[in-house]
Chains A and B, each alone.
Chain A
Amino acid sequence: MEYSFSKDDLAKIDEIKSRYPEVMPATLPVLWLAQDKFGHVNEEVQKLVAETLDLPVSHVHGVAEFYTQYYKKEMGKFVLDVCTCLSCHIGGGYDILKHLEKTLGIKAGGTTNDGLFSLQEVECLGACGYAPMMQINNDVFVNHLTPEKTDQVVEGLRKGKYPEFESIAMPLNPNTSASKETV
C-alpha cells in the first residue's frame, strides 16, 4: 500500500509545525495525525512522517517505538491495552491479561482472525488508583477489572458498544462513600 498525505493533511501538518519553535516536537502530533488517517504507523508510515517533517527516519522510528499508543502494524477494530505495570500487576493485571488471551484465543501482541480485537500488554496509563485497568483504542479507560467485567466489556464491544465512562472520585477521605464506590 502506498501511503501519502493529502493536501489537507499537509496543511494541518504545517499548522502543527507552526506551534513549535523547532520541527522535532511536531513528531508526536504528526504521528497521531498519521495514525488517525491510516489506522497505524507502520515502518512505511514512519518513513512518510519523517520525510514530510524532514527529520531522520531513525528519530521518528524511535518515538513511534517508544509509545505503545502508536500502532506499529495494522490492528484490530478494538485495541485492548491491558496495563501490567506495578499497581495493576499487584492488583492482578496479569490475570486479566491471561483471561483475555484465553477468551480471545490470541497472545498479547496478536489480533483475532476476524480482525475485531487486538490485545497489548502496556505500561502505566496513570490509573494506578483503579487497578487493574485497561484502555480501549487509546480512549476509554475500564477500571477495577475482574474477569467477569472483562467478559462483559468484550461482549459489549462485539455488539459495537463501548463501555460507559466511569467517573471515579479521589479517595480524599477514607470515610466518605465516594472512595469505596464508583459514582
Chain B
Amino acid sequence: MAEIIIDGITYEFEGQHKLLQFILDQGKEVPFFCYHPSMSAPANCRQCMVKVGQYVKDRETGAYQLDDQGNREVRWFPKLQTSCTLDMTDGMVVHTQETDTLVQRAQKDTLEFILINHPLDCPICDQAGECPLQIQTYKYGPEGSRFEVKKVHKPKRIELGPRVILDAERCINCTRCVRFTDEISKTNQLTITRRGDKNYPITAPGEVFDDPYSMNTVDICPVGALTAADFRFKARVWEMNQTPGLDITNGKGVNVDLWTRDNLVLRITPRFNPDVNDHWMADQGRDVYRLYNENRVSRPSIRLEDTKGSMDDGVAQVKTSWTNALDTLAEVLHENKASTILTIGSPYASVEENYALQKFSSLKGLPSPFFTPHILEGSGDGFLLTDDQAPNTEGCRLLGLEEIDTEEYKKRIKGASVVLMLNDDPIGRDILKASDFKKPFVVVFATNHTDTAKAADLLIPTTCAAEHTASYVNVEGRIQRTFPAKETRYTNRRLDLEMSEGRLDRYGTTFDNWVTEENRIDCKPTWVSLSELSQRLGIPFSFEHARELVAELSSQHPAFEGISFEKMDEERGILLRRAELTT
C-alpha cells in the first residue's frame, strides 16, 4: 500500500487524496481558508502551505540515501506547496507547521498579508468566536502588524440580497461564496469585482442575491464579511448552545443545529450529513426559529360555549389548567360514541406522536387515525427542497396510518362528534374552514396558534421539534431524530442529559436578568399528555420519554425493526425499507 510520511509519522493510504483533506481526516491540522471539501479548490488564500519532498533513493540499489547522521535524505520540492491542491503520492514526505519553522514562517507571513487591510473589528463582529481567521491568527499568525499606513477602505453594510449583508472590508477574497453559487446552488449570482487589494464579492449590477440557498454563504465565509440579515448583532456565539436537530419545513430531513440562548432559538445552521444534505440547507428552513419561539401555545386553552366555529382567539379561548383540560377531554371522550370520535395523525408530528395516538385510539377502542399529506407539486427543486411540505409524511405511512385525500378529510370532519388532532393546520392548509368546527368538539395538540388552533375547542400545548427528542422519516425513508434544544416548563437542562448547556445556562438562575421564564413554554410531549389522559380513562397507556415509544416500535413494528436513537445518531439516520421506497 502507498505510504506518506507526515511530520515523521507514516500513514498508509489508497486511491487519490488531496494532502490537506487527508491531514484533516487524520485529526491533524493545517490552517486554511479557501478550501472547502464540497467545492473546487482554487488555492487562492495560500494559507495551507506545507513543505513536501521525497526520500532520495540510490538509482541502482534502490536503497535510501542517508545523511551523515544516518537519517534518510529528502529531496524537497523547490517551493512550499499548497496542501489543498496537492495530490498525494507514494513515499511523499511532508512537514507541516508542527515540525518545520519554514512552514511556520510562511503561514505567519501569509496571515500578515491577509490581515493588512482587514479591519480587525472582532469586538463588534458577529463572526468572532467562530471565525477561522481569528482562530488561525491566534494560532499561527504574527504577534502584531507592521503595517502602519492607512488601510484600504471598501463598502460596508451592502445588502447583497434580502438575507445576506456584506462587509467588503472584512472579506479575504477566498471566493468560497462565489464558488457556492457557481457550483452548489448553481445560480451564479455572485462574482468578485475589481482586483488586487480592492476586490470583493458582489452580484451583477441590478441583480439581487435572492438565491434560495443564499445563507449558506454566511456559514462558509471564513470571516465576518457575510452575515445573516436577521441574525446580525443578535448574539455572540459563545453565549449560545448548539443542539442537533432536523429541518421541519419539508420532507428532506435536512440535518441542522439549533442555536439557543435563554431558551430562544436564535439561528439555525446546517449540520453535515453526507447522505442527506452534505453541508447545506435552504434559507427557508432557517426561518422556522420564529415558529419555535413565537406565537406558541403555552398552557391549555378551552373555548367558551357560544363561540364555536369561529376563529377569534383571545376572546373566545380562555386559558385553563392542565387538570381541567384533561378532565374535560376525558369527559368528552367518555360521553360520545366511540365510532363518532375521529383521531387524526399528522405528517407534521413525529413518528412517536403519531404512534402514541395510534396506540391510544386502539386501546380506547376509537377508529384508527388517518392523515392527509401536504404535498405542493412543483415546490421541490431536486436539491434540498421537496414537494412534500411536512417532515414526517413517510413516517405516517410506515406506521400504517390511513392516508386520505382532502375531500375525504373534510367529509369525515363533518360527520364527527369529537376530533382529536395532532399538530397540523388543516384550516391554514385550506382543507377546512373554521365553520367546519361548528359541530364537532375539536381537540388539537398544538405547538403554535395556527388558524386551526384558533378555531379549536380545546388546545393541548405540545412540544415542538426544538423541545423534544423524537424521530422523523424523510422522503427517502431515512429516520432521524431531534434533541431538545429549548427547555419547557417541565424540563431542565441540568437534569436532562440530552440537552446541552451554554455558559449562560450554567451560571444563570431564575433571578438573573438574562433568564426569562416566559421563554420556557408550558407544554408537554403529546405522549405525556395522552398518558395523563389515559390515567383518567383507566387505559394502560403510559409513556414518559420517546425512547420508550421507539423501543416498542423497534420490537413490535416490522417497518421500524431494530431502530434506536443511538443507532440513528451513529449512522446519521437509518434508511427504513430501502428496497420498497426506492422503487
Contacts and interface: CB of A to CB of B under 8 A. Distances in A.
Interface of A: 43, 46-47, 50, 56-62, 65-67, 123
B483 to A, nearest CB: 39
B196 A46 contact: no
A1 to B, nearest CB: 16
Interface string B185-213: 00011111111100000111111000000
B194 A61 contact: no
Nearest to B189: A58
Contacts of B206: 43
Contacts of A58: 181, 188-191, 203-204, 207
A58 B180 CA distance: 13
Given A56-B188, A58-B188, A59-B188, A65 B207 contact: no
Contact of A123 (B193, B195, B204, B205): B195
A59 B207 CA distance: 13
Contact of A61 (B181, B196, B205): B205
A60 B191 CA distance: 9
Contacts of B193: 61-62, 65-66
B207 A62 contact: no
5 contacts: A56-B188, A59-B188, A61-B202, A65-B193, A67-B195
A66 B195 contact: yes
The 10 A-B residue pairs whose C-beta atoms are closest, nearest first, are A62-B191, A56-B188, A57-B204, A58-B191, A43-B205, A58-B204, A65-B193, A61-B204, A66-B195, A62-B192
A123 B196 contact: yes
Contacts of B192: 62, 66
A56 B190 CA distance: 9
A66 B204 contact: no
Contacts of A57: 204-205, 207
A66 B204 CA distance: 13
Contacts of B181: 58
Contacts of A67: 195
Contacts of B204: 46-47, 50, 56-58, 60-61
A156 B193 CA distance: 35
B191 A59 contact: yes
Given A57-B204, A66-B192, A123-B196, 20 more contacts: A43-B205, A43-B206, A47-B204, A50-B204, A56-B189, A57-B207, A58-B181, A58-B188, A58-B189, A58-B190, A58-B203, A59-B191, A61-B191, A61-B193, A61-B204, A62-B191, A65-B194, A66-B193, A67-B195, A123-B195
Contacts of B203: 58
Q: Is the interface of A mostly helix, strand, loop or mixed?
A: helix
A65 B204 CA distance: 11
A26 B189 CA distance: 20
A66 B190 CA distance: 14
Q: In this complex, which of A46, A58, A65, A66 has the most chain B Cβ atoms within 10 angstroms of its Cβ? A: A58
B213 to A, nearest CB: 16
A119 B196 CA distance: 20
A80 to B, nearest CB: 20
A93 to B, nearest CB: 15
A56 to B, nearest CB: 3
Contacts of A123: 195-196
Nearest to B186: A56
A58 B209 CA distance: 11
Nearest to A123: B196
Contacts of A62: 191-193
Q: In this complex, which of B188, B205, B206, B207 has the most chain A Cβ atoms within 10 angstroms of its Cβ? A: B205
A102 to B, nearest CB: 23
A58 B186 CA distance: 12
A66 B175 CA distance: 15
A43 B189 CA distance: 15
Interface string B353-372: 00000000000000000000
Nearest to A61: B204
Contacts of B207: 57-58
A60 B204 CA distance: 8
A50 B189 CA distance: 13
Nearest to A64: B193
Nearest to A55: B188
A94 B547 CA distance: 74
Contacts of A61: 191, 193, 202, 204-205
Nearest to A62: B191
B439 to A, nearest CB: 57
Nearest to B209: A58
Contacts of B194: 65-66
B214 to A, nearest CB: 13
Contacts of B191: 56, 58-59, 61-62
A123 B196 CA distance: 9
Contacts of A56: 188-189, 191, 204
Interface in B42-97: none
Contacts of A59: 188, 191
A173 B60 CA distance: 46
A53 to B, nearest CB: 13
A61 B207 CA distance: 11
A109 to B, nearest CB: 13
